[in-house]
Structure 1
């Protein structure tokens, strides 16, 4: 955990000193043996998947050492974070040594997940205690956004305020101020939720598969749902936390729910701890060379093949995209699913309301902790709002789950919901003042969910154009996986037209799970299977023309991608005037996987960028090879920083934002800067230097060699030849200057010819039906 926290600080440009113990058998004066533990831990972290580091080169920002030899170096540090074993005596020993060397004013925090923060500060100096608090990162710290800041009675308010602001803006975290109570906020509510479901399963006999179907994406929770999450976390860890809560919350009205169910106790005795032991609630075995998943029967404790489960109520919500609307249907269902939801979530609502003011004075902190720490799209109070607070209370009372008195007081005061939107900002109900207040720290955010209803300029079935103010429009996609089809093409063109007529610029962003998974390959498949190549040619031309309009409009266009920006989503970014990328960006031209080459201007753009980047003295064939392999191997960046290395983002032009909540505000700012600095409409390029036969043979020979070595298939060779032909500008006898239109024509012709190939159609079908890349 310490190594991973160090990696995330290195991600944002901070120099880090990482210390660990000296091995017992280390030789005096031998730095290599004395630093073995810390170096091994860091090396293991860097090799882990997913990686804790944005770019391997960033690991150079981390210097390693050990407690015995290098502790004096902390005098040069501004923030000391303790991440040692969860034992109070060891933590106190570490802090005794820290205080010997830290300079006055240095921040000191503990990453403990359960030990009371004030106990660790006992015996320390006044300056230490004023600058000491808890800073609980959730694991893995790069990916899980929650950072709980837990001050003590001695912590200076400005220290907690700084950590909350720094964690959000620079580390990209959802920072939550928590009280020094057992398990703080996230784990207190999260573990309660899991334990209540485990007891429900013991009581009712509902199966593991049924629970995970009901508690996954259908209600806005991660795919790992409940039992698979428990396997990933480890049953021993879960039991440890639950036992700790059972022992340390004597006044908790639901304390009995932290009692470990009998089947979990037996699993721990059997060392069935989940992923770490190879089996838990689930296990995977090889049968006839294929992986077979088994689930545990909680009554017999025997494994059986996993079964797919269906619920009538879930079937009725498949077409309901809005989570709030879906929740209402599910909670009203009369089948087994409805019974489950009402039982476990009414219990959760009551429990969360009764934790105020014990673990937090404000409701938004509980919701934020569950959103960021457990991946819930809606926290308990947000779910409750979706169902209707007053209407739900009556059902809760009937089920024996009476909420806290302050909820009744809220309704009596005239407030009917925990949250509301005003002037584009989300407000929460403040219990002490009985008024609505803006959520602190969100004043600088622009969130489409908060402004869409009042600022929509135009929309169709797949897009919405929203006025961001100051003359900037935003275009968002809301198709499935934000794929790009006819409705999105229409939306892009409409947004540019509106911006050119009456606005200063356009941002393309959205708040979906992904920026865009690319073009609608289902539509391409249908036209190809029907051999309607004339229509397909028109569709691809329209896509190319739209991308060119993004590039050559009279107003600046800024793309703000996050998470997946694949295929057509990547091509859109390639043509924008500027990209403001979230650090967690998985960008790539992946068309090769479906038997195609980029056909929306992506191949053309790589040829153009290759031309622009060539310098006198460069070995041109090497530069061509790199671009060729990036597309041919369908390389996808594992961060925005890696996207620069692949050539998807441009150094000196595009920028990276670590805080997801600040992405749209920064994109709007950059768009305004472009507009106000005197944006000039670009002119189509006719000076692209392509290398023709000089590199065409390189592409052909490379593909043929890979085929001879059984690394790629015969169809891969055909696709590679088409790709090389376009990137080279055709079979020109010598390097020549060509236009973008020339390259787009080559690209489109290659794309359509590949659509006529049976093996390409097989690859597309494999993606559409099973989500798997077929290498035929």
Structure 2
């Protein structure tokens, strides 16, 4: 069933309500954001002589909340201009406007009586047939619509966005007793297709799916930490990126979210889940009760499991809470032999068998924690959902886990997981053993590029629904590979389109990747119609392999370095001037060489959450993989008669010189990295490869022809060079940049000006590539550049020297 959502009304402008409003604005929907009228004036309003009847006062709460949200970091909105799609008002003067909405979302305080009062008011103005949902994290949906009309109840259900709404992908949909099936279908499809979410239909059980499993996981660690005598640092080391979880791991995540929030949900689960076999685990440990009493709630109160202070030298220092003494102390480094064994294992999924086999405290931690998690999730079916894949989807989309519980269990081995459960004195649900006895040895299987899950009632593998709109590279990598080397795999996507997927660490662009890209173009030109360059890793690419550049520069192998840079440049140009369309599909971090690659694609199909930029200044060089050339060319293409050309060139110069990075794909248009009318943005990353393939196919079928290299790039010569040199002199004199910053900026200026030509001239791309490469190589001979590269390799952040 299709339903167009043109206007959404969001009732309640707190952190969650404002965030939801901003995300609908992100996707182009008109939003009406309403909140209550203030009951008293502020001192500032009194001083201005305002009254409670003035509109500015009546809309103060909603306007202040939205303004605060828009200033927050990370930003809830893709681009600041999108905020104009949100109109604000109050629930007394503007409630009648909800009659124009296609979807009304209530996001008021988590109290059933207040929600019911709001629904009573809304029903007086709501147009019949309008979708109406409550964003709640745990109040039973069945109670909310009591007393409302039949049409209201038919179109009503719960929708649980996770905070922050822009960044967390989980969108739980919880039907009420009378919710029409078509409403669930509409919301499920809309969440996935337009909002870019992982839509999961959940049962109306306490905390639904995500929080039920997520809070259990955190609570089990809370109890385990004292039992095993572990520190907060040790738990965070073991429960973070090494197992595909966020860097904030466990205790830092609780600090960010707020201990009071976790306590509220845990207490609710303890109260409402009396029949849960792990009921007592939801009881809060003593150290949590002490923290709550002391108001050590995390970031919002300045201290939680961690506390930031200024030390005697005036420098910031992070202290950790000692759970045995309940006093703060200096952070201790956590180190485990088991983790050392996984350092060479790049794929998280391949680490789990190693981790549970560890002989130290880490191994014991993993065996205990996974045993408890596996047993618990097995018993939640069919209580919270009938399908096991929904639990995995919820944990990945709502809590940022790279792999869900059943995927981890598969990686360890289902029988091995059963052994771990037994060793911990736990028991899995009977269906798991029945599954094994019937000869099914895993929860998931892949057939013909599609993922199948073990369907418990059917006692057979069933295809996970909704995959037809996606291309999952993990599922086709082995069966559809047409070429691979250690850094890159080329897969056949079908319909004459290939995909080149990076396989290097952090998707860096080293020799294997460059060689692989050239081979992919060879194959595509010979036997296919187009090429997509895309992957489904955490980030598209963090850039060139700077470790390789550093080693060559230190060894003074300048001829080899020159050849490596020239090869990179020529590969970018080969992409631009091949006789098949090349589509880049960036997402996440797309830095340096990854950005240069996208600059040279025929079209970019970017995920909305793409952070793109030429960041080479941070390691003491200029973009050397044709990026400086390309930005100079793009500036040239923008020159119009009577333009102040220097101003246009300066915009592109500053994009590189200030190492600007977009905070979304939409901001990349402002930086000149993406181009309007050519490049496109997709909100749901799961659809990105399929969308890129469709564009490649369309371009090929429209009669794609090879372009000729450009020889008409207008450069401004001494006129531009002089302006830039004066600017860098004054920046250094003012203390804004260091002497080495100035040297790098002057090299960039020389290239973008086209050298010290006496007058504006037309030059070729090859001319600019030579200037760019010479500047890059000369900077690699500088000691301060080598210090910057070494510091970046060691610390992962830039050095100012």
TM-score, length basis structure 2:
0.96
Q: 2:336 aligns with which of 311, 327, 330?
A: 311
CA distance in 2 between partners of 1:391 and 1:533 (Å): 53
Note if 1:221 corresponds to 2:245: yes
For 1:503, the equivalent position in structure 2 comes to: 528
Instruction: Quote how far apart the aligned CAs of 1:291 are.
Output: 1.9
Note if 1:107 corresponds to 2:122: no
Q: Is the 8 A contact 2:170 2:397 kept in 1?
A: yes
Q: 2:392 aligns with which of 353, 358, 367?
A: 367
CA distance in 2 between partners of 1:719 and 1:126 (Å): 69
Instruction: Quote how far apart the aligned CAs of 1:702 are.
Output: 1.3
Instruction: Quote how far apart the aligned CAs of 1:105 are.
Output: 0.6
CA distance in 1 between partners of 2:734 and 2:521 (Å): 48
For 2:11, the equivalent position in structure 1 comes to: none
Q: 1:92 aligns with which of 112, 116, 120?
A: 116
Matched residue SS, 1:631: helix
RMSD after superposition: 0.9
Q: 1:402 aligns with which of 393, 409, 427?
A: 427
Q: Is the 8 A contact 1:483 1:519 kept in 2?
A: yes
CA distance in 2 between partners of 1:323 and 1:719 (Å): 38
Most deviating of 564-573 and 699-708 = 699-708
Note if 1:569 corresponds to 2:594: yes
For 1:329, the equivalent position in structure 2 comes to: 354
CA distance in 2 between partners of 1:770 and 1:202 (Å): 32
CA distance in 2 between partners of 1:398 and 1:589 (Å): 52
Q: 1:80 aligns with which of 91, 98, 104?
A: 104
Deviations 1:660-681 (A, max 9, x none): 1000000000000111110100
Q: Is the 8 A contact 2:156 2:179 kept in 1?
A: yes
CA distance in 1 between partners of 2:165 and 2:787 (Å): 40
For 1:471, the equivalent position in structure 2 comes to: 496
Q: 2:64 aligns with which of 9, 32, 40?
A: 40
CA distance in 1 between partners of 2:345 and 2:503 (Å): 13
Q: Is the 8 A contact 2:618 2:799 kept in 1?
A: yes
Matched residue SS, 1:464: strand
Q: 2:479 aligns with which of 454, 465, 468?
A: 454
CA distance in 2 between partners of 1:212 and 1:394 (Å): 26
Note if 1:24 corresponds to 2:48: no
CA distance in 2 between partners of 1:770 and 1:606 (Å): 29
Note if 1:15 corresponds to 2:39: no
For 1:754, the equivalent position in structure 2 comes to: 779
CA distance in 1 between partners of 2:463 and 2:28 (Å): 32
Counting only pairs closer than 5 Å after superposition, residues 181-192 of structure 1 correspond to structure 2 as: 181-192=205-216
Matched residue SS, 1:487: helix
Note if 1:520 corresponds to 2:535: no
Matched residue SS, 1:365: helix
CA distance in 2 between partners of 1:618 and 1:68 (Å): 51
CA distance in 1 between partners of 2:337 and 2:464 (Å): 38
TM-score, length basis structure 1:
0.99
Q: Is the 8 A contact 2:109 2:115 kept in 1?
A: yes
CA distance in 2 between partners of 1:423 and 1:171 (Å): 29
Matched residue SS, 1:443: helix
For 1:705, the equivalent position in structure 2 comes to: 730
CA distance in 1 between partners of 2:52 and 2:361 (Å): 66
Deviations 1:14-49 (A, max 9, x none): 000000111112535411111111011000000000
Q: Is the 8 A contact 1:202 1:261 kept in 2?
A: no
Matched length: 776
Matched residue SS, 1:600: coil
CA distance in 2 between partners of 1:614 and 1:7 (Å): 35
Counting only pairs closer than 5 Å after superposition, residues 117-516 of structure 1 correspond to structure 2 as: 117-287=141-311, 288-516=313-541
CA distance in 1 between partners of 2:201 and 2:674 (Å): 36
CA distance in 2 between partners of 1:582 and 1:476 (Å): 16
Q: Is the 8 A contact 1:603 1:727 kept in 2?
A: yes
CA distance in 2 between partners of 1:152 and 1:135 (Å): 11
CA distance in 2 between partners of 1:465 and 1:172 (Å): 27
CA distance in 1 between partners of 2:568 and 2:52 (Å): 67
CA distance in 1 between partners of 2:367 and 2:551 (Å): 43
Note if 1:719 corresponds to 2:744: yes
CA distance in 1 between partners of 2:435 and 2:538 (Å): 33
Instruction: Quote how far apart the aligned CAs of 1:413 are.
Output: 2.2
Instruction: Quote how far apart the aligned CAs of 1:322 are.
Output: 2.4
Matched residue SS, 1:73: helix
Matched residue SS, 1:741: helix
Deviations 1:157-213 (A, max 9, x none): 110111011001111101100011110000000000000110011222111111111
